[in-house]
Structures are given as structure tokens and as C-alpha cells.
């Protein structure tokens, strides 16, 4: 299941080239900063720039030299963070101080900081994460002393990390055994050719997976209540700008250890193929793309080779179709699933019906018009623009030759036929 990719940060214009940032900012002194910045901004930027250089050079001593010598616990945590980072193929690592507060006493400050990084061989774009760091001045020198509430909780900050590389995948895990991470990598590697067959357009063909130790840790990683992801086996992070290009962060497949662990081997393959489809279709996904189509095509790709009968793959919608018909009309089929129905944390049965309805819509398109038409519809729907956000009728008419009303009627009949009339898989 893909995370909502709308509502981009709009900060791409503020991004600094990592190399330039490291070259210029490392040389800043305590005397001042750029026009309009107080001296603390420049000093704190210099501290973080030196840490960034240490990360890129693999200099643990230099990295810890910028942390508060009296903050024993924080230094211990940062030593572990540094060693975790050494396991990653980092091609970029830089910081930008955006705002400083609380430095009036002359000895302490809190800064909002943009961390930017990129994984060589996997990321086409730079990931940006916002952190809130505490600083302290001792004997005329500033140090990083703590991480404040509101910071993005990265996986490498959650404990001792292991990293496994597959043919097409990079898997990072905390609280996971190396064999478990290798199994994730194998499943992810199988997902890539499956997605290639379903989505023949250009994409990176590389996957980055993050496997936190618990549901609570997953919530911290995604900066959302853990309860939002209970029962969700995996999510894909990543945002797209108005033109459908991924800006920040880069795509990450985050695996829920509980829900994913309860799945069969087939179920795990379906889930990771679904999430890999979100990575593949990212460049074609815009705010105009309806969720039933984006989630539906991901499920269609996931189930494409799974040999799952519709009634088995869509149990909640099957129950609605076979047991909830009122006055000749089935409530769950009055309209195609709306975007609101895909919201995490909503009623789990309604959420499941939304996914199943989107899957069957895409399955119908692939069967009745052809797989190439499904791919073309996805691309065309994303081209319709922000004004057509709630109306995919133009895209349906252009690609399939029918409007949204007729498409919905055909979808409704198809769902009833597959789930109620045929009785296959019961």
C-alpha cells in the first residue's frame, strides 16, 4: 500500500548542491554568516558541515568531536549512528540550518535543520528530512548536544542496523536477523522483474527497503501514529511534484514486522510487488491520479502472477457483494472508490473494499482492453492536471473510448460477475 504522494514540500528550490554546501559551509567561522543571519546560524552551520565532512570521509573521531563532551548518552547514541551510516553507500550527506531559536542566554540553542542524503546506485533524487537539534556552547565552542522532539526518526537512529544487498535491492533493518533481511531482499529482487512485465516504462529497477523492529518504530520512522499502520504489511514513502517527478524523499518501502510476518510466501511476494509498482510508477503519478487507479494497478501487478481467484483476493468486497445487496443496489459499488476511502487509519473493512475495488477495476481494464491500455490510462490520467483531480472521465474517454459513468457501470457488473455470480474460489 502506497503512502499518499500528494502535498509535496515545495522546498526543492531551496536545495543546495551537497558538494557546494560542504565546501563553503565547512569554512564558516564564528564571526558571522550570510546576510540576514545571526552569528549563531553560521556557527551552528559550521558545526554540522564539519560533521557532514566526517560522515563522508568515514572519520568517526571527527564526527564525535562535534558532539557535546558532557552528553554521555547522546555521544554513545551518535557513535552507533555513525557506525550504522558507514554501512550505507552514501554519495551525498549535508545539512542546512533553517531556523535557530533560544540562543538568547548565550549558551544553548535549538535549530531546525534539513538533512539531505542520497544512496549511490539506488536514489535518483536526494532525500530531505527535517531534524530539530539542540546545541550547547562550552568554553567558547558550540556542540551538538541532543535531538529534540519533532525530528524525523531515521532507521539508523533506532538501534544497531544491519544492511543486506540483493540483486536489485538494498535492505536496512533494526532488530532483524541477517537471514530475515536476506529473505526480504530475495522477495524484493523477484518483485522487480514482475513489475517490469506489468509496467514496461522506464524506471530505476532498484528498491530500498527499511525494516524497523516494531510497529511503534515504524510509526516513528513515518512520523505518524503506529495505530495507522496496524494490519498494513508495508507502505511506500515518496512524494511527487506537480509534474509527476519524485522530489523528496526518495522512495522507501517500509515493512511492518508484525503484519508482514503473518503473511504466506505468496502474500509477501504480492505485497512487495505492489510496493515496487509504486516505485516504478512514481514518475507517472501526479495529484491528478485517482487512488483507485494508483492502488489498483499496484495490486494488479502484485496479483498478476499469483493465481489468486477474485473471491480469495477480495474477501471484503465479496462479502459486500454476496450479503449486502439492498433494494437491488450494492452500497459498496455505488461508485468507484474515492481517495478518502484509501486513508490509513480508517475503517479496515472499508479500506480493504477500496483496495479490492481498485484492483478489480484495473483487472477489468487489462482483460477487456489489454494491459497496454491500462498502462496508457495510468499515464494519461496523470497528465490530466490538477483541475481534473476528481474527474478521470477525460482520460477514460481518450484511452478506453468510454466515459466515467459507463466505465463505472461496467466495473459494477464485472465485480458482481466475478465475486457473486461465478462463485469461483469459494
Instruction: Judge whether 333 and 321 are in contact, CB under 8 Å.
Output: yes
Residue 16 has pLDDT above 50, yes or no: no
What is the band of 151 on the pLDDT scale with cuts at 50, 70, 90? confident
Residue 86 grid cell: 558507514
Asked whether residue 120 carries a pLDDT value surpassing 50, the answer given is yes
Same domain, 116 and 225: no
Query: Do 300 and 421 belong together in one domain?
Result: yes
Does residue 32 fall inside a structural domain? yes
Residue with cell 512524494: 239
Whether 194 has a pLDDT exceeding 80, the answer reads: yes
Kindly state whether residues 121 and 206 are assigned to the same domain: no
Burial 111-120 (b: 16+ CB within 10 A, else e): bbbbbbbbbe
User: Of 152, 176, 191, which marks where a domain is finished?
Assistant: 152
- Which tops the pLDDT comparison, 109 or 247? 109
Q: Which of 127, 206, 195 is nearest to 165 (CA)?
A: 206
The whole-angstrom distance between residue 167's C-alpha and the CA centroid of its chain comes to 21
pLDDT value at position 124? Answer: 87
**Where residue 214 sits, what CATH number does that domain have?**
3.30.2010.30
Q: Residue 101 is part of which domain span?
A: 12-152
Task: Quickly state the pLDDT bin for 385 (edges 50, 70, 90).
Answer: low
> Can you tell me which residue has the cell 522546498?
11
Residue 96 — φ and ψ, nearest 5°? Answer: -135, 120
pLDDT-above-70 percentage for the chain: 83
What pLDDT score was predicted for residue 121? Answer: 95
Assess if residue 370 is contained within a domain.
yes
Residue 120, domain member (yes or no):
yes
Domain boundary among 238, 259, 284: 284
- Asked if residue 93 is part of any domain, the answer here is yes
Examine residue 118 and state whether it is found in any structural domain, yes or no: yes
State whether 171 and 204 are in the same domain: yes
Question: Does residue 243 have a pLDDT over 70?
Answer: no
Q: How confident is the model at residue 338 (pLDDT cuts 50, 70, 90)?
A: very high
pLDDT at 422 over 70: no
Pairwise CA distance, residues 241 & 9, whole Å: 9
- pLDDT of 104: 57
Give the residue ranges of DSSP H helices in 204-263. Answer: 215-222, 257-261
DSSP reduced 3-state for 128:
strand
Please identify, among 124, 152, 180, the residue that sits at the C-terminal boundary of a domain.
152
Examine residue 186 and state whether it is found in any structural domain, yes or no. yes
Could you tell me if 81 and 157 are in contact, meaning their C-beta atoms sit under 8 angstroms apart? yes
Q: How many whole angstroms separate alpha carbon 409 and alpha carbon 412?
A: 5
Q: Which positions ≥6 away from 267 have C-beta within 8 Å?
A: 233
Structural domain count, the chain:
3
Regarding whether 157 and 142 lie in a shared domain, the answer is no
Q: What is the pLDDT of residue 329?
A: 56
Residue 343 lies in a domain: yes
Query: Is 318 found in the same domain as 258?
Result: no
* Cβ-contact 272, 187 below 8 angstroms: yes
pTM higher than the cut 0.75 = yes
Question: How do the residues of the chain divide into helix, strand and coil, expressed in percent and rounded to 5?
Answer: 50, 20, 35
Residue 231 pLDDT class (50, 70, 90 cuts): confident
Q: What is the mean pLDDT of the chain?
A: 85
- For cell 455470480, the residue is 421
CA distance 112 to 98: 6
Tell me, yes or no, whether 179 lies in a domain: yes
| Helix axes 291-303 and 348-368, enclosed angle (nearest 10) | 70
Which of 124-138, 140-154, 174-188, 374-388 is predicted least confidently?
374-388
Report the alpha-carbon distance of residue 30 to residue 24 in Å, rounded: 14
Clarify whether residues 330 and 385 are in a common domain.
Answer: yes
Residue 353 has what pLDDT?
94
299: enclosing H helix or E strand: helix 291-303
Do 332 and 228 share a structural domain? no
DSSP helix/strand/coil, 279: helix
Does one domain contain both 241 and 350? no
Tell me the average pLDDT across 326-339.
77
pLDDT of residue 149: 87
85-107 per-position pLDDT tens digit: 999 999 999 999 999 987 656 78
Distances (CA, A) of 117 to 58, 150, 320, 395: 15, 19, 46, 37
What integer pLDDT is reported at residue 188 of this predicted model? 98
Percent of the chain with pLDDT over 90: 67
The verdict on 85 and 209 lying in the same domain is no
For the chain, how many residues are written? Answer: 426
Same domain, 18 and 127: yes
Same domain, 273 and 379: no
Amino acid at each position: 500500500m502506497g503512502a499518499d504522494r500528494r502535498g509535496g514540500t515545495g522546498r526543492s528550490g531551496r536545495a543546495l548542491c551537497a558538494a557546494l554546501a560542504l565546501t563553503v559551509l565547512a569554512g564558516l567561522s564564528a564571526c558571522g554568516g550570510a546576510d540576514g543571519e545571526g552569528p549563531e546560524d553560521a556557527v551552528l552551520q559550521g558545526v554540522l558541515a564539519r560533521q557532514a565532512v566526517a560522515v563522508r570521509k568515514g572519520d568517526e573521531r571527527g564526527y564525535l568531536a562535534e558532539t557535546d563532551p558532557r552528553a554521555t548518552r547522546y555521544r554513545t547514541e551518535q557513535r552507533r549512528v555513525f557506525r550504522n551510516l558507514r554501512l550505507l553507500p552514501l554519495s551525498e550527506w549535508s545539512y542546512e540550518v533553517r531556523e535557530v531559536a533560544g540562543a538568547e542566554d548565550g549558551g544553548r540553542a535549538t535549530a531546525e535543520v534539513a538533512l539531505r542524503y542520497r544512496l549511490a546506485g539506488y536514489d535518483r533524487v536526494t532525500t530531505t528530512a527535517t531534524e530539530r537539534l539542540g546545541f550547547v556552547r562550552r568554553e567558547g565552542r558550540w556542540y551538538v548536544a541532543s535531538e529534540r522532539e519533532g525530528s524525523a526518526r531515521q532507521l539508523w537512529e533506532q538501534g544497531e542496523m544491519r544492511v543486506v544487498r540483493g540483486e536489485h535491492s538494498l535492505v536496512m533493518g533494526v532488530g532483524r536477523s541477517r537471514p530475515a533481511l536476506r529473505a526480504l531482499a530475495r522477495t524484493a529482487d523477484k518483485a522487480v522483474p514482475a513489475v517490469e512485465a506489468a509496467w514496461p516504462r522506464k524506471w530505476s529497477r532498484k528498491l530500498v527497503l527499511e525494516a524497523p523492529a516494531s510497529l511503534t518504530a515504524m510509526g516513528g520512522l513515518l512520523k505518524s501514529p503506529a495505530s495507522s499502520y496496524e494490519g498494513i504489511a508495508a507502505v511506500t514513502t515518496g512524494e511527487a511534484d506537480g509534474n509527476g517527478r519524485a522530489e523528496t524523499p526518495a522512495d522507501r518501502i517500509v515493512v511492518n514486522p508484525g503484519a508482514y510476518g503473518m503473511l504466506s510466501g505468496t502474500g509477501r511476494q504480492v505485497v512487495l510487488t505492489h510496493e515496487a509498482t509504486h516505485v516504478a510508477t512514481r514518475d507517472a503519478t501526479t495529484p491528478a491520479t485517482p487512488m483507485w487507479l494508483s492502488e489498483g494497478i499496484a495490486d494488479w501487478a502484485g496479483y498478476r502472477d499469483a493465481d489468486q481467484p477474485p473471491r480469495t483476493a477480495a474477501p471484503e468486497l465479496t462479502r459486500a457483494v454476496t450479503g449486502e445487496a439492498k433494494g437491488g443496489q450494492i452500497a459498496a459499488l455505488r461508485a468507484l472508490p474515492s481517495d478518502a476511502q484509501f486513508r490509513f487509519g480508517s475503517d479496515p473493512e472499508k479500506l480493504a473494499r477500496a483496495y479490492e475495488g481498485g484492483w478489480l477495476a484495473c483487472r477489468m481494464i487489462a482483460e477487456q482492453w489489454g494491459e497496454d491500455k491500462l498502462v496508457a490510462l495510468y499515464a494519461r490520467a496523470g497528465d490530466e492536471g490538477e483541475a481534473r483531480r476528481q474527474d478521470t472521465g477525460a482520460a477514460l474517454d481518450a484511452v478506453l473510448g468510454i466515459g466515467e459513468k459507463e466505465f463505472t457501470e461496467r466495473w459494477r457488473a464485472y465485480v458482481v460477475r466475478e465475486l457473486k455470480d461465478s462463485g469461483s474460489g469459494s
